[in-house]
Chain A
Amino acid sequence: MIAAIENIGRFTLDTSLSLRNTLTFAIQVIIRLLNLRTYNSASRMVFINQFYFTSVQILPLFLFVAVIFGSLVNGMAFQVIKNLGLYDYLGRLLMGFVVTEVAPFVTVLLIALRSSSAINAEIAVMKVNRELNMLDTFNIDPINYLFVPRIINGMLSMVLLSSLFSLVVLAIGLFVSSAVFGTSVDAYNDTVLQAASLLDIVIVLFKCATFGFFITLIPIRLGLSASMELTSIPVVVLGGMVKVFLSIVVIEVLSLIIRFI
């Protein structure tokens, strides 16, 4: 009984400590993000490379997924809407569900699966190989040189890719709507625009940036927590990915609460 209570207490303390460390680290990074001296040619090169690997390389796969997913979602949803006679809700479905919820979620999953795990493993390996100590030795700030470019890359990639996903789904929605309902381009535009809200779009973009921030920050912080043994690398990658998914769920819930307050 006492052991069980001790376990609960230990778990709570560990979680709180981890959360505090993450938030502390996040504050440090945000301060650096806002500092212009952080940005130099070296960090710019790191950013370009990271952005290339995160957004540009994935682009064909991402667009393919967007087309397939958009066709499936639009096809199924429009058929249901047609059967129920709820054409008036077409715009709300596209803007309120696909654009504001599905597009960021699919994008963040793709980036997390591909880039977050890579960042997590990369930082852990650098830690094990004492490369971070080497940077310190050369008086190179790892936050400025390694972390800030990756986090900016994560935020920007999320915003751009999520927006592209939304545009692709909306474009496919036009074709599906025309095929299922026989609607014209103007009627489709009016339906979508009527449901669109600038505030919702701003919230979605902010949500995407927040997703991008945390799905790169958490793997970096977990990578830094690796020990000097090679066996710790998969452990921290595993823990980092779990926490990334937890953060995705928490951000999603928080954004929903903010939207519907």
Chain B
Amino acid sequence: MVQKVEFKVGLFIIVATLLIMASIGYVAYKKGFFSKVYTYTLSSNTAENLTEGMPVVFWGFNIGQVSSMELTERGVLIHIKIPERNNRVIRANSKFVLDKPLFGTSRIIVTTDNLNDPPLSPKVFPEITVSNDINELIKKVQPIAEKLDRIGASVATLTANLADPQGEVTRILKNVETVTAHFSKKESLLEMAVGTKESVKSIQDILSNVNGLTVRMDGILKRVDTLAGKSDEEIYGRDGVFPLVRNILRDLLAKLAKIDATLDNINQISVEAVDSTKDLKILRNSLDETVTAIGTLVDQLDRIIPFQDKPGIKLP
């Protein structure tokens, strides 16, 4: 019985302990407890909004955390710890931004443009830039507030003008009142514009004369239209000038074409004549050489028969 109890107790303790140790070991392994941890140092002008344990985020994933901070002569140095499996995202060109969202806790966001760049040297202390949602919001709201301020000032000016008896708005209203009073006294806008009824009558007479002139001008223009129609018939009609000129030109073009062929024949003949003159030149050269040879022969005969009279040779 005792052995049975001892076995059960021993078995339970061993199994339970193994289960617990395995679970804790698994959590520790997944949390990177057994993996190598790289420490990098960042610099900042202030430790405001920075806390130990603050997450370091890359593409939305927690890749490490702030392990410690220290105040030195060169500013605040922030030490971050990155497990080995996440270390490949920390490169020489990595930028570190302290993100302070409007809601929620602050965090350090890592951005790396090229993951193939060389790793960040532990001796280099990159500076943390600050991204402040509240300040960004204030920056966006500030121009709107300024515009609202200007609108408010304009509204204040308008209301002041309205309230001022000598203000521009009051003067405009008075002018409008005067104009409406004039409207109520005069019979027409024209009378209000020229001032007297006589002037209005004169303008009406002028307008009547202008009407007569317009009727006469219409008649003249009709006659001009008739003349223009006739001229068109004489110039552009079937027996007009333009068709005649066109026929003459067609005939001329046909004749010019014939002359062009004749000129081509003449050119051919002249080329052949040139070739003929080349043959004549050769014949002449041959005759010249023959004459020269006969001359030479006569000279030699003279030398052989000195007292004989020079015989005359008739050339062909």
Contact = CB atoms under 8 A, between A and B. Distances in A.
Contacts of B5: 48-49, 52, 56
Interface string B30-54: 1101000000000000000000000
Contact of B31 (A51, A160, A189, A196): A196
A33 interface: no
B20 A160 contact: yes
**Residue of B8, B9, B27, B28 with most chain A CB atoms under a 10 A cut-off:** B9
B19 A163 contact: yes
Contacts of B218: none
Given A163-B19, A163-B20, A55 B12 contact: yes
B31 A193 contact: yes
Interface string B115-129: 000000000000000
B12 A167 contact: no
Contacts of A52: 5, 8-9
B160 interface: no
A51 B62 CA distance: 43
A95 to B, nearest CB: 10
B8 A56 contact: yes
B144 interface: no
A222 to B, nearest CB: 27
B19 A56 contact: no
Chain B residues touching A, range? 10 to 19
Interface in A229-254: none
A59 interface: yes
A164 B16 contact: yes
Interface in B1-27: 2, 5-6, 8-9, 12-13, 16-17, 19-20, 23-24, 27
Contacts of B13: 51, 156, 160
A59 B33 contact: no
Contacts of A193: 27, 30-31
Interface in B205-225: none
A48 B27 contact: no
A31 interface: no
A160 B12 CA distance: 9
A201 interface: yes
A198 B33 contact: yes
B27 A56 contact: no
B33 A48 contact: no
B58 to A, nearest CB: 15
Contacts of B24: 198, 201
Contacts of A163: 16, 19-20, 23
A164 B19 contact: yes
A180 B162 CA distance: 69
B8 A198 contact: no
A160 B15 CA distance: 10
Nearest to B19: A167
A45 B17 CA distance: 20
B17 A198 contact: no
B9 A51 contact: yes
Nearest to B5: A52
Interface of B: 2, 5-6, 8-9, 12-13, 16-17, 19-20, 23-24, 27-28, 30-31, 33, 62
20 contacts: A45-B2, A49-B5, A51-B9, A51-B13, A52-B8, A55-B9, A56-B8, A56-B12, A160-B13, A160-B20, A161-B16, A163-B16, A163-B19, A163-B23, A193-B31, A194-B62, A198-B27, A198-B31, A198-B33, A201-B24
Given A163-B16, A201-B27, 5 more contacts: A48-B6, A48-B9, A164-B16, A189-B30, A201-B24
